[in-house]
Amino acid sequence: MPDTPPQVEEWSALLAARRGGAIPRGPLGELFGPLLAPSRAADGCQVVGRLAQTLDGRIATASGSSQWIGGRGDILHTHRLRALCDAVLVGAGTVRHDDPRLTTREVPGPNPVRVILDSARRLPPTHRVFSDDEAPTLLVTSCDGPASHGKAEVLRVPGGPSGLDLPALLRGLHARGLSRIFVEGGGQTVSGFLAAGCLDRLHLTVAPVILGSGIPAFTLPEVARIGDGLRFAWRVWPLGDDILCDVALDRAKPMVCSP
């Protein structure tokens, strides 16, 4: 479904706000405005994670098939997040399974820098993010090796609980002028940022689908009691046939992940 003329105008205003203009009034401004606010974190970054899941909390079948859980509205929302952020970040598994382009081809707006997490540096340089010229790419690893990977530049950070030291990564991205970070997936990568207390917001799309089995959206340590779970404020938005849960995390992390 195409945007209405007011939405087209509001989206243009949001792109201007990305460059320092005023946040427009309207649904898009309310939803995306918090992402454009100045960071309150010590690392200087504003970080939003995003997942699309079924009603029973699955992001893929057991074999890894995940395209497409969300509908057209979710695809547009994802591309809008890319356009508003300085960098789009995914894990090695997402690149291996989906070979994504991570561009903004569905909406007006600039392509973000593509940041690929591959702590063991196992991905071949033949994937599109390493071989095309659509947007700059950073390969993030803790391994030694050449300073480039195909057409991508290599950024080395220390190892950490989820394979990489995520707070160190955010500091490194901010030092490169990349302050608005979109963690697009997959589930293990988003879970790693959540467990490390590195997410300011979470955009979770829930689609009207039940799989009954498959890969869970979040992979986190087990809690013993309901009270040990992480509770938060959220707002729910219609997104075509899906719903979008906009969660204000403000760098909170599950109690079981706290030192």
Domains assigned to the chain = 1-37 (no CATH), 38-251 (3.40.430.10)
Dump pLDDT digits (tens) for 170-207: 999 999 999 999 999 889 999 999 999 999 999 999 99
Burial of 43 from C-beta contacts in 10 A (0-12 / 13-18 / 19+): buried
Are 93 and 162 in contact by the 8 Å Cβ rule? The answer is no
Asked if the model's pLDDT at residue 255 lies above 80, the reply is: no
- pLDDT computed for residue 259 by the predictor: 66
Residue 206 CB: number of other CB atoms within 10 A? 22
Dump pLDDT digits (tens) for 56-93: 999 988 887 777 899 999 999 999 999 999 999 999 99
Buried-state track 166-200, b at ≥16 Cβ within 10 A, e below 16:
bbebbebbbeeebbbbbbbbbbbbbbbbbbbbbbb
- pLDDT computed for residue 5 by the predictor: 55
- pLDDT computed for residue 220 by the predictor: 86
Segment among 62-66, 125-129, 133-137, 242-246 with least mean pLDDT: 62-66
Dump pLDDT digits (tens) for 223-247: 888 988 888 999 999 999 999 999 9
What is the torsional sign of CA 214, 217, 222, 224?
negative
What pTM did the predictor assign?
A: 0.94
Nearest CA to 182 among 196, 199, 194, 165? 199
Asked if the model's pLDDT at residue 133 lies above 70, the reply is: yes
Burial of 105 from C-beta contacts in 10 A (0-12 / 13-18 / 19+): exposed
Asked if the model's pLDDT at residue 2 lies above 80, the reply is: no
What is the torsional sign of CA 77, 82, 86, 89?
positive
